[in-house]
């Protein structure tokens, strides 16, 4: 495990936001264990991982908290951000009459 985040006592959306922040500078393949006791974390953290392209390798319910093992599966770079298709600028030729 590259890092463990004990986020017990924090409420939605902080566990997901802090997990995202911790994963951001890590290399692809890094593993993070997140411990959270907010009931919404079981929804928020997997949702954040899906949106960011990370993998939830394991999610274990314990007595009063949940442990998430997250693997960073990609690194966001400026090159990949520039590959997002953008709509063409409006040249005025498609205006309604």
Write out the catalytic residue numbers: 12
Cα 8 from chain centroid (whole Å): 18
Helix (H) or strand (E) holding 54: none
Q: Which are the contacts of 82, defined by CB distance < 8 A and separation ≥ 6?
A: none
Q: Could you tell me the two tokens for 9?
A: 């006592």
């Amino acid at each position: 495990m590259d890092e463990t985040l004990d986020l017990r006592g924090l409420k939605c959306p902080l566990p997901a936001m802090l997990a995202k922040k911790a994963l951001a500078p890590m290399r692809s393949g890094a593993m993070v264990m997140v411990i959270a006791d907010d009931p919404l974390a079981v929804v928020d953290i997997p949702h954040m991982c899906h949106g960011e392209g990370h993998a939830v390798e394991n999610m274990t319910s314990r007595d009063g908290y949940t442990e998430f093992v997250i693997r960073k599966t990609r690194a966001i770079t400026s090159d990949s951000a520039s590959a997002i298709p953008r709509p063409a600028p409006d040249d005025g030729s498609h205006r309604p009459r």
